[in-house]
Structure 1
């Protein structure tokens, strides 16, 4: 509006200048000054018009591209330390020390799960999670590399009782102890808190397998990870190509290597909560996986085949192949518990027949999902 007003005033001023007779009777020097002033004003109007057009054009870009450009041209802060940590770090709950203690022979790979009080009640999800390692094929030894990230004091105390590596990740002003119903406000805050925390783990130089506690570990997954993948993730639905971005990823199970590409990616992902309010981390991942920024940083994204890394959305069909079984596509804690117990029973039955040369078809397939289906 100011530009328009300035242009209007310039015109009026020009007319008064002519009418006064100064233009007709002034010297060539004055004529040159008037001409130069007019050119400057026209140039300024042109610049203002270009700026306005550029601003309007920017608003037409798809959200992810705008998100990507904004991210690229802003300074990216390093992940802040967990909010529950005072400036003088409590040695008993020092994250880097715990990760080092839990790491595998390479000194930089850990298994991480997050838990709240609702999932650590007796005979709840946590107990079934631990049992899967106990009855799985060569998985028991992996328990010593599991870091339980407790979201409240009750979950932290329960972790200490079973002698795992435990880290208290409380958030000031928030109580994550109850069952967080899918897509509720507490659920969304919990999911984004998790992404922020995992970014911190990468910043510290540790690779991790993140696993929801409702994922049953039945075989060692490390033999099935792709050697050239930076970020590898399980799927709700898999389309038979491990690099196809149209696969439907599930954030409940992923293997991530710590490097500059994944550190940038997790910061990019976490920033998505502000650009896509009301969306959870998995929805945002499904949008940003197509973003040009992913190619620009060189991130190698891989999708894990549900034949090996299955779930209730798309169960693996052959227990001779299965590595993990996830209670995804299932809403409600009691429903999950019911069907996970069936997974445990199916696996025990399968293992009991492991010495039979040819197992019958019924012992090689799942009877789940039942309630969750």
Structure 2
């Protein structure tokens, strides 16, 4: 009797344990499932955040170097005749190592006594820069600019557009025409790299007062001027300025320019410089092995952030918030000051004058500066600092000269 009861109790206990064990396993499974789902949600969230920062990282490798679907049309594929014309111009202008200097020009900047003339003049008066004119290719964006180029310079190329866009007028910063012009430029430079030519690209509102080649980095594939330079040429936090760069032709740089051009779709409404500031962090750059370096503003300064030593100043007014007339007037002042420095050997005085002139945007004040400088040059004597400070005071008081 006891035995039978004891046996029944054991069976009941075993059944109870079996039931409890099943419940325990069920609870454990549910906990594991919850943790798995939570981890999945976290992983997907991280993936989405990472993908928003690097939109091309998880696309197929064929999209890293997209050949089409670019905003504003595909990368250009010029016909044989057009390609032959370009190669002829590049070959005549190239240095022994197939390096050319390139700028773009439209009708608005090509008028007599405008930006273009002053740009060329800076090469003539700069230190060891006159010979570089032999290697300068001017890419004309319209027929009048091309005609003006042919009248003044031996190496001119007429860049045709297949979509009927008119680039002859002044393209104001960030307008639709401005953006189209900037992306057409990237497209063209991609073609130059494909043809095997290294290039220094310079905006025409940049003045060359010194040969830049000794200051370029020998190990960089792509090096570019800065709006802000933090002291380390490898630091991607430096803010690039697309108006001046030196690029060596290779498969890497060809792919990079293609990537840059087609990235405009990922960042609609931005110009090439702002898109570059986005994609410089993209893993694709590291994947292709591209070495990017940023040019020191001590040598490649600008009017918005001038060099401490004007002997080293190479680039000038790119992205300065002045209209074309004001840019031209400031350039004229700068050119006159360089002549005055050379003639009078008054370096300290003239450098002070330069700093005062840089921020002038008032038309009448600029005209007065021009008159004062021209008078000083004609008389071969330096204007007094009192006159310069008076002009500065008048400018800030918004009074008429």
TM-score (ref. length: structure 1): 0.78
SS of the residue 1:178 aligns to: coil
Measured in 1, the distance between the counterparts of 2:80 and 2:51 equals: 44
2:198 maps to 1:207: yes
Measured in 2, the distance between the counterparts of 1:204 and 1:55 equals: 43
Match of 1:89 in 2: 81
Q: 1:63/1:124 Cα in 2 relative to 1: closer, same or farther (>3 Å)?
A: farther
Q: 1:225/1:326 Cα in 2 relative to 1: closer, same or farther (>3 Å)?
A: farther
Match of 1:221 in 2: 212
Match of 1:40 in 2: none
Q: CA deviation at 1:209?
A: 0.2
8 A contact 1:148–1:164 mirrored in 2: no
Match of 1:70 in 2: 59
Match of 1:236 in 2: 227
Q: 1:63/1:191 Cα in 2 relative to 1: closer, same or farther (>3 Å)?
A: farther
Match of 1:158 in 2: 148
Where does 1:34-73 land on structure 2 (aligned, <5 Å)? 59-70=48-59, 72-73=61-62
2:366 maps to 1:363: no
8 A contact 2:302–2:318 mirrored in 1: yes
Match of 1:187 in 2: 178
Match of 1:245 in 2: 236
Which structure would you say has the larger Rg?
2
2:118 maps to 1:128: yes
Measured in 2, the distance between the counterparts of 1:274 and 1:254 equals: 23
Q: CA deviation at 1:246?
A: 1.2
Q: CA deviation at 1:293?
A: 1.4
Q: 1:75/1:294 Cα in 2 relative to 1: closer, same or farther (>3 Å)?
A: closer
Match of 2:245 among 247, 254, 263: 254
Aligned-residue CA RMSD (Å)? 2.5
Q: 1:64/1:145 Cα in 2 relative to 1: closer, same or farther (>3 Å)?
A: farther
Q: CA deviation at 1:52?
A: 12
Structure 2, gaps ≥5 residues long: 1-39, 69-73, 363-401
SS of the residue 2:50 aligns to: coil
Measured in 2, the distance between the counterparts of 1:296 and 1:75 equals: 10
Q: Deviations over 1:108-151 (max 9, x none)?
A: 10000011110101111101101101111111111111111111
Q: CA deviation at 1:351?
A: 2.5
Q: CA deviation at 1:166?
A: 1.0
Match of 2:167 in 1: 176
Q: CA deviation at 1:75?
A: 7.1
TM-score (ref. length: structure 2): 0.73
Match of 1:285 in 2: 276
Q: Write 1 or 2 for the structure with the bigger share of helix.
A: 2
2:94 maps to 1:110: no
Measured in 2, the distance between the counterparts of 1:333 and 1:71 equals: 44
Structure 1, gaps ≥5 residues long: 1-50
2:185 maps to 1:198: no
